[in-house]
A and B are shown apart, each in its own frame.
Chain A
Amino acid sequence: GAVVSQHPSWVICKSGTSVKIECRSLDFQATTMFWYRQFPKQSLMLMATSNEGSKATYEQGVEKDKFLINHASLTLSTLTVTSAHPEDSSFYICSARPSGREHDTQYFGPGTRLTVL
């Protein structure tokens, strides 16, 4: 149980285009989902907290207009990188917190490798 999927697993795009990454909780509902970014040989950095039905909360230094987050259902959150540039190339990982059970447990997705040319 507690499986989180991400799609796509990897994506290559041209500079200036937008890319959407999906995060799904497959066997549980998640009121809260988190989006992280990880650069090579570094740990995960929290970008934003996504709450179902409300606006996401962004960490300091993360541009909300560049990284659009939508959490329209209890099993799906999406991250859209708008007007992507090479410096946005990174490993993006989402996590989901089950609603009501073990309130602070996060289950991580497998990650999405984004490469911007």
Chain B
Amino acid sequence: KNQVEQSPQSLIILEGKNCTLQCNYTVSPFSNLRWYKQDTGRGPVSLTIMTFSENTKSNGRYTATLDADTKQSSLHITASQLSDSASYICVVSHLSGTYKYIFGTGTRLKVLA
């Protein structure tokens, strides 16, 4: 069964600290993996996208890694800011005729001052 699992479910950190979010997937065949940030009451916004041949991708303070062998990905946030408080969703694209997105359950991050 094609699934995407994320951990932790929620996380609270202090402003300025770093954190790492995890994503494990069983989607096959795999096209690519994306990390999205979703603010409360808003649509998801893309942070990074990686194909199976890419190991890391950065976007400012966000760095995503991918291990296609173990089917694991992580999103590292450096020097967190209050505005980083949001849900972070790992999405795996299924390599099929419709390239359907398989969504993870998300990690809710709260950054405190």
* Chain A interface (Cβ < 8 Å from any Cβ of B): 4, 6, 34, 41-46, 49, 91, 93, 95, 97, 103-106, 108-111, 113
| A104 and B31 in contact, given A43-B89, A111-B43, A113-B41 (Cβ under 8 angstroms) | yes
Chain B residues whose C-beta falls within 8 Å of the C-beta of A45 in the assembled complex: 103
Contact B44 A104 (CB under 8 A): no
Chain A residues whose C-beta falls within 8 Å of the C-beta of B41 in the assembled complex: 91, 111, 113
* Chain B interface (Cβ < 8 Å from any Cβ of A): 31-32, 36, 41-45, 49, 89, 93, 98-101, 103-106, 108
- Interchain Cβ contacts within 8 Å, total number: 41
Report the minimal beta-carbon distance from A111 to chain B, rounded to whole angstroms: 5
Chain B residues whose C-beta falls within 8 Å of the C-beta of A41 in the assembled complex: 108
Instruction: Known A-B contacts: A4-B43, A106-B101, A110-B43. Give 5 more (CB < 8 A).
Output: A34-B101, A46-B101, A93-B44, A111-B42, A113-B41
Bound form: Cα–Cα A95–B49 in Å: 17
Chain A residues whose C-beta falls within 8 Å of the C-beta of B108 in the assembled complex: 41
Bound form: Cα–Cα A106–B101 in Å: 9
| A44 and B103 in contact, given A104-B31, A104-B32, A111-B41 (Cβ under 8 angstroms) | yes
Q: Which of B32, B43, B106 lies in contact with A93, CB distance below 8 A? A: B43
Contact A43 B104 (CB under 8 A): yes
Contact B100 A46 (CB under 8 A): yes
Q: Which of A42, A91, A106, A111 lies in contact with B105, CB distance below 8 A? A: A42
Chain B residues whose C-beta falls within 8 Å of the C-beta of A46 in the assembled complex: 100-101
Bound form: Cα–Cα A46–B99 in Å: 13
Contact A103 B99 (CB under 8 A): yes
Report the minimal beta-carbon distance from A114 to chain B, rounded to whole angstroms: 12
Report the minimal beta-carbon distance from A98 to chain B, rounded to whole angstroms: 12
Bound form: Cα–Cα A49–B106 in Å: 22
